[in-house]
Structure 1
Amino acid sequence: MQAYILINCKTGREISVITELKELPEIIEINGIWGKYDVFIKIKTPDPNGVELILQRLRNHPDVTDTFTMHVLYGQGGSIDQEI
């Protein structure tokens, strides 16, 4: 499973959230961004429930105020063969 997640953080807590999330092996890319959201992450996991587990962790994080998740559709630019 692969997904992109946009995150809003409490003001001034972006760097600490990024630093903490960098430690998760499922996160293969993470960036602070400008605009409606504060942080962009790309996750990849072999576990069918992996995306949901990451989302639960994010939504329970005291400095995360909102998330927006986009699941990758295999066969539209990627293929099921490219999935872990």
Structure 2
Amino acid sequence: MPTAYILLCCDLGSEIEVLKSIKQIAEVDEVDRVFGVYDVIVKLSSDNMDKLKEVITMKIRKIDKVRSVLTIIKSET
């Protein structure tokens, strides 16, 4: 099953709001607030790679107050 880890930088003070928005996405397995370079880390999976990419592009990247996104797609081998 295709899996990705998404590292997000959010507008200052909006981390909880972004976290709540991400929890509403069905493909999200885990979401946590973190401290350091990134503000939120997301683990998501889908039935196929195209759907996974669509969720990242059309749902996560379009959340208001998300400044930057780093996507790490897990290798299947």
Residue 74 of structure 1 aligns with which residue?
Answer: 76
Q: Partner of 1:10 in structure 2?
A: 11
Q: Deviations over 1:18-77 (max 9, x none)?
A: 1111111110010000010000000010032122222222222221000001111112xx
**RMSD between aligned residues:** 1.1
Q: How many residues are treated as equivalent by the alignment? A: 75
Cα separation, 2, equivalents of 1:24 and 1:62: 14
2:42 maps to a residue whose letter is I
RCO higher in structure (CA 8 A, sep ≥6)? 2
Gaps of 5+ in 2: none
User: Which AA in structure 2 matches 1:6?
Assistant: L
Tell me if structure 1 keeps the 8 A contact 2:18–2:64.
no
Aligned sequence identity (%): 27
- Based on CA coordinates, which of the two structures has the bigger radius of gyration? 1
Partner of 2:38: 37
Q: Structure 1 length normalisation: TM-score?
A: 0.82
Which contiguous aligned blocks of 4+ residues in structure 1 show a shift greater than 6 angstroms? none
